């Protein structure tokens, strides 16, 4: 069991180069259980590169990502075997994509999308799996009578909520989110944000969320990292960073939002 004073995740000196081009450079931070970290910055600043490198989706050029696993204690995720890393990614970790289609299987039912992740961790009891799927549809505010429908018959907001249910059914402790409300109508975004905030709080999830939307960052994150040209130029408590930005770039980012 992880004690709350121990970090769940430790990222040290993470650098990702694409040839000569910097994706992200020298990023270090720790994340505790239940903590929500927002990564903000303009397009091309390295947010997605950093997220992918932390989430074991793209091996960095340099640096380490250590995670406090339930079974083996602290492990460097890039030193794990492929099988161990895959297991981690579909049990204790989750990844919510901006485009729900990237995180769902569109040719199987909503219920199967949720159940599949449970089966991947060894659950074989059909009744239990169906109950869990129904339960999770309810939690993400989708009518349970839609259990056997294909995700392609869902609205964009419903697909995103289904993706969240599929991700959370295995009770992960760390969730990566890449612009989870991007591409949705403003009213749909607000409802989704509300739902996410409730789930993150109720399930005590640690989250790393990439967003270019400072309002989303403010609502969900405890702490913020501001990126520019692949580097973290400012970090701190969300309210501190947004209300009293120290770096000129952060000041510009905050004031440009306020003017809109
Ligand atoms: N697969 C790739 N190959 C080469 N260069 C890449 C690749 N992915 C990203 N980059 C470069 O790395 C830098 C950071 O890009 P990244 O996509 O991480 O930024 P971002 O902040 O997530 O941007 P956005 O908000 O537009 O998604 C950019 O200069 C980009 O051109």
pLDDT digits (tens, 9 = 90+) for 114-139: 999 998 888 888 899 999 999 999 99
CA of 43 to the centre of ligand 1 (A): 8
80, 73 contact by CB (below 8 A): no
Residue 83 burial (CB count, 10 A): 8
CA of 49 to the centre of ligand 1 (A): 6
Q: What's the chain's average pLDDT?
A: 93
Measured in whole angstroms, the distance separating CA 141 from the mean position of its chain's CA atoms is 20
pLDDT digits (tens, 9 = 90+) for 57-112: 999 999 999 999 998 999 999 999 999 999 999 899 999 999 999 999 999 999 99
Nearest to 173 by CA among 57, 120, 77, 94: 94
7 lines ligand 1 (CB under 6 A): no
Q: Indicate which residue's Cα is closest to atom 26 of ligand 1.
A: 43
Quote the CA–CA distance of 165 and 146 in Å, as a whole number: 14
Cα dihedral sign for 155, 157, 158, 159? positive
| 48 CA closest ligand 1 atom index | 22
94, 168 contact by CB (below 8 A): yes
Quote the CA–CA distance of 172 and 196 in Å, as a whole number: 14
Is the ipTM higher than 0.90? The answer is yes
Q: What's the pTM value of the predicted model, to 2 decimals? A: 0.94
Q: Indicate which residue's Cα is closest to atom 1 of ligand 1.
A: 18
Rounded to 5 degrees, what angle do the CA atoms 216, 25, 243 make?
35
Nearest to 51 by CA among 109, 100, 110, 95: 95
Structure tokens at 50: 């950093």
212 lines ligand 1 (CB under 6 A): yes
pLDDT at residue 182 in the model: 87
| 24 CA closest ligand 1 atom index | 14
pLDDT at residue 188 in the model: 86
CA–CA distances in Å: residue 208 to residues 96, 177, 187: 10, 6, 23
124, 173 contact by CB (below 8 A): no
Q: Indicate which residue's Cα is closest to atom 31 of ligand 1.
A: 44
Quote the CA–CA distance of 173 and 36 in Å, as a whole number: 11
45 lines ligand 1 (CB under 6 A): yes
159 lines ligand 1 (CB under 6 A): no
CA of 244 to the centre of ligand 1 (A): 28
Nearest to 47 by CA among 26, 23, 70, 65: 23
161, 192 contact by CB (below 8 A): yes
Cα dihedral sign for 36, 171, 83, 3? positive
49 lines ligand 1 (CB under 6 A): yes
48 lines ligand 1 (CB under 6 A): yes
CA of 146 to the centre of ligand 1 (A): 37
pLDDT band at 260 (very low <50, low <70, confident <90, very high): low
pLDDT at residue 256 in the model: 81
Q: In what order do the strands lie in the sheet with 73-76?
A: 21-31, 9-18, 62-69, 73-76
260 lines ligand 1 (CB under 6 A): no
68 lines ligand 1 (CB under 6 A): no
46 lines ligand 1 (CB under 6 A): yes
73 lines ligand 1 (CB under 6 A): no
pLDDT digits (tens, 9 = 90+) for 143-187: 999 999 999 999 999 999 999 999 999 999 999 999 998 888 888
Quote the CA–CA distance of 104 and 101 in Å, as a whole number: 5
Q: Which residues, in sequence order, are CB contacts of 130 under 8 Å at separation 6+?
A: 111, 115, 147
């Amino acid at each position: 069991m992880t004690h709350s004073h121990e970090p769940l995740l430790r990222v040290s000196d993470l650098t990702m180069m694409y040839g000569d081009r910097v994706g992200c450079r020298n990023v270090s931070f720790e994340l505790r259980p239940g903590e929500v970290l927002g990564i903000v910055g303009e397009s091309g600043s390295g947010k997605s590169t950093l997220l992918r490198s932390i989430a074991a989706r793209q091996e960095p050029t340099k640096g380490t990502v250590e995670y406090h696993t339930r079974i083996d204690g602290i492990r460097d995720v890039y030193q794990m075997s492929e099988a161990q890393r895959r297991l981690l990614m579909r049990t204790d970790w989750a990844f919510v994509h901006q485009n729900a289609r990237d995180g769902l299987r569109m040719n199987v039912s909503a219920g199967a999308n949720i159940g599949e992740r449970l089966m991947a961790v060894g659950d074989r009891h059909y009744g239990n799996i169906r109950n869990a799927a129904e339960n999770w549809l309810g939690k993400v505010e989708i009518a349970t009578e839609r259990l056997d429908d294909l995700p392609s018959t869902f609205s964009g907001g419903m697909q995103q909520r289904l993706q969240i249910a599929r991700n959370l059914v295995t009770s992960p402790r760390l969730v990566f989110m890449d612009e989870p409300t991007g591409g949705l109508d403003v009213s749909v975004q607000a409802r989704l944000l509300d739902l996410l905030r409730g789930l993150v709080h109720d399930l005590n999830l640690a989250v790393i969320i990439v967003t270019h939307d400072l309002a989303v960052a403010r609502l969900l994150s405890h702490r913020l990292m501001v990126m520019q040209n692949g580097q973290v130029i400012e970090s701190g408590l969300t309210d501190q960073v947004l209300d009293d930005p120290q770096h000129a770039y952060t000041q510009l980012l905050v004031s440009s939002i306020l003017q809109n």
